[in-house]
């Protein structure tokens, strides 16, 4: 098996796919948004409890591929306790990492655990999978009531 496939499907991603964290609707939520990828049928819902500009709690539900499920799982772990602005900055950094030119220096060294998604940039078709949960989270943060769609 080739190294970039292993790079894409790192063990952390496979683990979060099999056992997604925060895969539930938290007891208390005040912002919700749905994310859909009409091309592959992936659909997930992000639940947030935002108080005083801080993400107090977060969870998700839905179905998707390993990349989108693991991304949602790791995202929920990472943004819990963050300020809204921090979460948004993190989304920017994450997006930059997965969309950067594969020939350029690797990005995401300051993204902690999320750097397991750095292999996605070798697979442009999978960027939408990796960012679906993040788009939904962003819609929820802004309480737009809109569905985040990859198309």
Partner 1 sequence: MSTAERLALRDEGFDPARAKKDFPILQNTGLIFLDSAASAQKPQCVIDAIADCYSRDYANIHRGVYELSARATAKFEAARKTAQLFIGAAEAREIVFVRNTTEAINLVASTYGRQNVGPGDEVLITEMEHHSNIVPWQMLCEDKGAALRVAPMDDRGALMLDEFKKLLNPRTKIVAVAHISNALGTINPVEEIIRLAHAQGAVVAIDGAQAIPHQRVDVASLDCDFYALSGHKVFGPTGVGVLYGKAALLESMPPYQGGGSMIETVRFEKSTYADIPQRFEAGTPDIGGVAGFAAALDYVSDLGLDAIERHERELLAYATDALAGVPGLRLIGTAPQKAAVISFELEGVHPHDVGSILDHEGIAVRTGHHCAQPVMEHFGVPATVRASFALYNTREDIDALVRALQTVRELFK
Binding site for partner 1 (CB under 8 A): 1-2, 4-6, 8-9, 14, 18, 39-43, 63-67, 69, 123, 125-126, 129
Give the separation between CA 120 and CA 9, rounded to whole angstroms.
9
How crowded is residue 83: how many other Cβ atoms within 10 Å of its Cβ?
Answer: 14
Helix (H) or strand (E) holding 43: strand 42-51
Helix (H) or strand (E) holding 85: helix 84-99
The distance of closest approach from Cβ of residue 88 to partner 1 in the complex, given in angstroms and rounded to an integer, is 27
Q: Name beta bridge partners: 25.
A: none
The distance of closest approach from Cβ of residue 125 to partner 1 in the complex, given in angstroms and rounded to an integer, is 7
Dihedral angle, C-alpha 26, 81, 107, 62, nearest 10 °: 0
The distance of closest approach from Cβ of residue 26 to partner 1 in the complex, given in angstroms and rounded to an integer, is 24
The distance of closest approach from Cβ of residue 85 to partner 1 in the complex, given in angstroms and rounded to an integer, is 32
Q: Name beta bridge partners: 65.
A: none
Identify which of residues 53 and 102 has a Cβ nearer to partner 1 in the complex. Answer: 102
CB 119 within 8 A of CB 99: no
Identify which of residues 65 and 84 has a Cβ nearer to partner 1 in the complex. Answer: 65
Identify which of residues 4 and 109 has a Cβ nearer to partner 1 in the complex. Answer: 4
Identify which of residues 27 and 125 has a Cβ nearer to partner 1 in the complex. Answer: 125
């Amino acid at each position: 098996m080739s190294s970039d496939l292993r790079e894409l499907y790192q063990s952390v991603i496979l683990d979060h796919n099999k056992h997604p964290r925060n895969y539930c609707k938290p007891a208390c939520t005040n912002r919700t948004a749905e994310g859909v990828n009409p091309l592959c049928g992936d659909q997930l819902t992000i639940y947030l409890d935002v108080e005083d500009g801080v993400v107090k709690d977060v969870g998700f539900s839905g179905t998707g591929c390993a990349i989108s499920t693991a991304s949602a799982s790791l995202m929920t772990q990472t943004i819990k306790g963050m300020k809204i602005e921090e979460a948004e900055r993190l989304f920017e950094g994450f997006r930059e990492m997965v969309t950067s030119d594969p020939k350029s220096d690797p990005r995401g060294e300051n993204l902690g655990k999320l750097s397991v998604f750095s292999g996605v940039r070798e697979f442009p078709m999978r960027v939408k999978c990796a960012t679906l949960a993040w788009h939904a989270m962003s819609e929820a943060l802004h309480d737009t009531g809109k569905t985040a769609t990859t198309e």
